[in-house]
């Protein structure tokens, strides 16, 4: 009852009293863990779930709850293991497969991630987030048509969610269809005008489309929203260079360097050399700017950037405490009927349709 009212401290006190009465009963540990989760006290939640598992190692729901929190705090291998254990114990819930899929994404096991997202959709065909994440993952492995199909399905399920439009824009952008990319980024911005990544992505598409003024305007908007968004300084400088606005380009390059960007390495990765840039663009750089961008001899060999912050940025839907909130957590009247932990463990037939709304 206390949890329903948001009185988490008294709820914790009640479960603590229950534990003192019977310290060998797993349920109050589990339920107290749920309350700690609602308070975002993840360490305490993990501790209580772990005790509950020690007392009742066959309760799949506790593994599922702990696995989700491990994902939230970045313990990916533990998250995968706990979700797998819950499934082995025959808890076939869409959110468990979803959380494990996110773990697989994090460790680069994309085929396994796709398999789990597909299972989520089989269990719950209306799982918007599974379509978003599977679409992004398909894009990562070059399955463009499948990626676009999934993201379009996500949009049909939730037409007001900006993330899906952003991600489908990325697919088009990576395929060189910049007009379609721009249209989708613009829709994402219309729905959520305060996300700097959407402007940054659209700026990249404008730049690739040789619309340098519009690209520069978007990069400037990024920096108004987030002055620490370092790639935007570099990319804005590139737009200024193409427009031969030397003073402004130099200022943006200096700002990018001040924010920790290795401008010579990034420029070398994009254009190989100053001479190559000048040949490709027909723009002759002033000596001072050329010196800023010229690689030292020992740095001429450029290694690929595995996680390129200057490319189109997808947004996957990750572990979220939203999956666990808004649900009543009640101490069971009888030991044989443990309460259902919030969100993740709620039976499919009783799931709130708004539980995963963004």
Q: State the alpha helices, DSSP H only, in the chain.
A: 8-21, 26-38, 42-55, 60-72, 76-88, 94-106, 110-123, 128-140, 144-157, 162-174, 178-191, 196-208, 212-225, 230-242, 246-258, 263-271, 274-281, 287-293
Q: Give the per-residue pLDDT at 334.
A: 27
CA distance 106 to 71: 10
Q: Give the per-residue pLDDT at 295.
A: 67
pLDDT, one tens digit for every residue, the chain (358 residues): 566 667 788 889 999 999 999 989 999 999 999 999 989 999 999 999 999 999 999 999 999 999 999 999 999 999 999 999 999 999 889 999 999 999 999 999 999 999 999 999 999 999 999 999 999 999 999 999 999 999 999 999 999 999 999 999 999 999 999 999 999 999 999 999 999 999 999 999 999 999 999 999 999 999 999 999 999 999 999 999 999 999 999 999 999 999 999 999 999 888 889 999 999 999 999 999 999 998 654 343 333 333 444 455 555 555 433 333 222 222 222 222 222 222 222 222 222 222 222 2
Torsion sign (Cα): 279, 282, 286, 289: negative
Question: Domain-by-domain residue ranges, the chain?
Answer: 1-106+324-358, 126-193, 203-319
Other Cβ atoms closer than 10 A to 200: 28
Q: Give the per-residue pLDDT at 49.
A: 96
The domain defined by 126-193 folds into 1.25.40
Instruction: Report domain 203-319's class.
Output: mainly alpha
CA distance 258 to 68: 38
The pTM of this model reads 0.79
Q: Name the residue with tokens 């996300």.
A: 195
- Is there a common fold for 126-193 and 203-319? yes
Residue 220 near residue 236, CB atoms below 8 Å: yes
Q: Give the per-residue pLDDT at 317.
A: 55
Q: Among 2.60.130.10, 1.20.120.80, 3.40.109.10, 1.25.40.10, name the CATH number for the domain at 1-106+324-358.
A: 1.25.40.10
């Amino acid at each position: 009852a206390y949890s329903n009212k948001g009185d988490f401290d008294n709820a914790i006190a009640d479960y603590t009293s229950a534990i003192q009465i019977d310290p060998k009963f797993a349920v109050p540990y589990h339920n107290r863990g749920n309350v700690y989760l609602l308070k975002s006290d993840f360490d305490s939640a993990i501790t209580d779930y772990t005790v509950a598992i020690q007392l009742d190692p066959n309760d799949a729901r506790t593994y599922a709850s702990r696995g989700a929190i491990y994902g939230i705090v970045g313990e990916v291998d533990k998250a995968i293991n706990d979700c797998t254990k819950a499934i082995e114990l025959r808890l076939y819930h869409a959110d468990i497969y979803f959380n494990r899929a996110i773990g697989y994404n994090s460790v680069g096991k994309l085929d396994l991630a796709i398999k789990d997202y597909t299972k989520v959709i089989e269990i719950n065909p209306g799982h918007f987030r599974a379509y978003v994440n599977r679409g992004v993952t398909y894009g990562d492995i070059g399955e463009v048509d499948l990626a676009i199909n999934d993201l379009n399905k996500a949009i049909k399920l939730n037409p007001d969610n900006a993330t899906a439009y952003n991600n489908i824009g990325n697919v088009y952008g990576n395929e060189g269809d910049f007009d379609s990319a721009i249209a989708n980024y613009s829709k994402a911005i219309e729905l959520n005008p305060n996300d700097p990544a959407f402007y940054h992505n659209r700026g990249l598409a404008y730049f690739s489309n040789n619309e340098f003024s519009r690209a520069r305007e978007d990069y400037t908007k990024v920096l108004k929203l987030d002055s620490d968004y370092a790639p935007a300084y570099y990319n804005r400088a590139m737009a200024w260079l193409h427009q031969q606005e030397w003073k402004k380009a130099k200022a943006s390059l200096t700002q990018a360097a001040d924010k920790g960007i290795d401008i010579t390495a990034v420029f070398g990765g994009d254009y190989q050399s100053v001479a190559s840039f000048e040949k490709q663009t027909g723009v002759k750089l002033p000596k001072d700017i050329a010196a800023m961008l010229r690689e030292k001899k020992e740095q001429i060999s450029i290694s690929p950037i595995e996680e390129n912050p200057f490319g189109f940025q997808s947004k996957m839907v990750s572990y979220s405490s939203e999956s666990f909130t808004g649900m009543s957590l009640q101490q069971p009247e009888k030991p044989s009927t443990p309460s259902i932990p919030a969100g993740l463990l709620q039976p499919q037939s009783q799931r709130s349709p708004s539980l995963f709304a963004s």
